[in-house]
Structure 1
Amino acid sequence: MLGFMQSPDGPLTRLRKSHEQSVLGLLRKHGPLSRAELGSHSGLSRTTLYDIVAGLVEGGAVVASTPPVEVRRRGRPVEKLSLNPNAGEAIGIDFARRAVHVSAVNVAHEMIGSASEAHASDLTWVQRVDIAERLLGSLGRSSQDDASVGRPPRRGTLGLDSLSAIGVGVVGPINDPGSADAHALSIDGLPGLLRERFGVPVLLDNNTRLAALAEAVWGAAADAGDVLYLRLSHGVGGGLVVGGSLHRGMYGMSGEFGHITVDPDGAPCECGGTGCLETVASIEAVLQRYRSAGGRAEDISAFLTAAASGDPAARTVLERVGTDVGTVLAAVCNAVGPGVIVIGGELAEAGAALTEPLEGALGAHVMPMARHRVRVRHATLGEAGSALGGIALVLHESPLLSRYPQPVTEELA
Structure 2
Amino acid sequence: MKTATPAMARAINDRLALDLLLERGPLTAPQLREITGLSRPTVSDLVERLRSAGLIEVTGESGENRRGPNARVYGLVADCAHVAGVDVRSSGLRVTVADLAGREVGTAVREGSADLHEMITSAVAQAAGGRRLQAVVLGLPGLVHPETSALTSALASDSRVRGWHPGLLGELRRSLGVQVVLENETNLAAIAEHGKGSARGVADFVLLWLDDGVGGAVVLGGKLRRGMSGGAGEIGALDLGLDEATFCRAVETSDGSSLADRIAKGVFTIVAVLDPGLVVLGGRIGRQGGEELAALVEERVAALSPAPTRVRPSTVEGNAVLEGAVLTALDLARDEVFG
Alignment of 1:36-75 (within 5 A): 36-67=30-61, 75=68
The structure-2 alpha-carbon separation of the partners of 1:251 and 1:348, relative to structure 1 and needing over 3 Å to count, comes to: same
1:339 is aligned to: 277
1:22 is aligned to: 16
The structure-2 alpha-carbon separation of the partners of 1:206 and 1:57, relative to structure 1 and needing over 3 Å to count, comes to: same
Q: Which letter does structure 1 place at the counterpart of 2:49?
A: G
Q: Distance in 1 between matches of 2:71 and 2:261?
A: 59
1:315 to partner: Cα distance: 4.2
Counterpart of 1:361 (choices 295, 300, 319) is: 300
TM-score (norm 2): 0.83
Alignment of 1:106-255 (within 5 A): 106-120=99-113, 123-130=114-121, 133-134=122-123, 137=126, 139-140=127-128, 159-161=130-132, 163-175=133-145, 176-180=151-155, 182-183=158-159, 184-185=161-162, 186-255=164-233
1:118 to partner: Cα distance: 4.5
Q: Which letter does structure 2 place at the counterpart of 1:378?
A: S
Q: Give the conservation status (yes or no) of the 8 Å contact 1:160–1:198.
A: no
Gapped regions of structure 2 (runs ≥ 5): 146-150
1:26 to partner: Cα distance: 0.8
Give the number of the structure whose residues are more often strand, by fraction: 2
Secondary structure at the counterpart of residue 351 of structure 1: helix
Q: Distance in 1 between matches of 2:325 and 2:152?
A: 19
1:393 to partner: Cα distance: 2.3
1:177 to partner: Cα distance: 2.7
1:79 is aligned to: 72
The structure-2 alpha-carbon separation of the partners of 1:77 and 1:248, relative to structure 1 and needing over 3 Å to count, comes to: same
Q: Which letter does structure 2 place at the counterpart of 1:134?
A: A
Q: Which letter does structure 2 place at the counterpart of 1:177?
A: T
The structure-2 alpha-carbon separation of the partners of 1:165 and 1:397, relative to structure 1 and needing over 3 Å to count, comes to: closer
The structure-2 alpha-carbon separation of the partners of 1:29 and 1:188, relative to structure 1 and needing over 3 Å to count, comes to: same
Alignment of 1:366-405 (within 5 A): 366-367=305-306, 369-371=307-309, 374-383=310-319, 385-396=320-331
Cα offsets for 1:290-329 (capped at 9, x unmatched): 7xxxxxxxxxxxx6xxxxxxxxxx343x543432222111
Q: Distance in 1 between matches of 2:84 and 2:198?
A: 21
Cα offsets for 1:185-213 (capped at 9, x unmatched): 44412222322332112111111101111
Q: Give the conservation status (yes or no) of the 8 Å contact 2:279–2:312.
A: yes
Q: Distance in 2 between matches of 1:13 and 1:92?
A: 33
1:354 to partner: Cα distance: 4.3
Taking only aligned residues, the RMSD between alpha carbons, in angstroms, comes to 2.9
